Amino acid sequence: MPERDLPLKDYDHLPVGSLTSRIRTLDAEDLTTLLDYERAHGNRFQVVTVMESRLAGLRSGAQPSGGDPAATGADAPPAPAGGSKASEATSGPPVNPPSQGDPTNPSQPR
């Protein structure tokens, strides 16, 4: 299964701490899909354990929490608005070449 078909966007690039909170928004079917993908690809013990525990909870009557699993969180803060503040007014002075070895420098002895 390609990563683009998974219920969580950019699943392979999410940190483990982020996965723990994001899987709480998934239902049992989506979580099973993700668990199968994890077992076939990374098979990370901590991730599989958390997913199995959450799946058992869902099967016992727990409900997915609200929220959007694709929303940006602390692991991916939104981009700052406004762009760069660099301009000609904020740039440093022009760089002068060193006096050593520059024949056009009048202060250099010949």
One DSSP character per residue, 15-48 reads -HHHHHHHGGGS-HHHHHHHHHHHHHTT--HHHH
What is the arithmetic mean of pLDDT over 5-32? 87
pLDDT at 103: 67
Q: Are 16 and 75 in contact (CB under 8 A)?
A: no
Sorting pLDDT into bands at 50, 70 and 90, what band is 107? low
pLDDT of residue 75: 61
What is the mean predicted confidence (pLDDT) over 38-63?
93
pTM to 2 decimals?
0.61
- Higher per-residue pLDDT: 102 or 17: 17
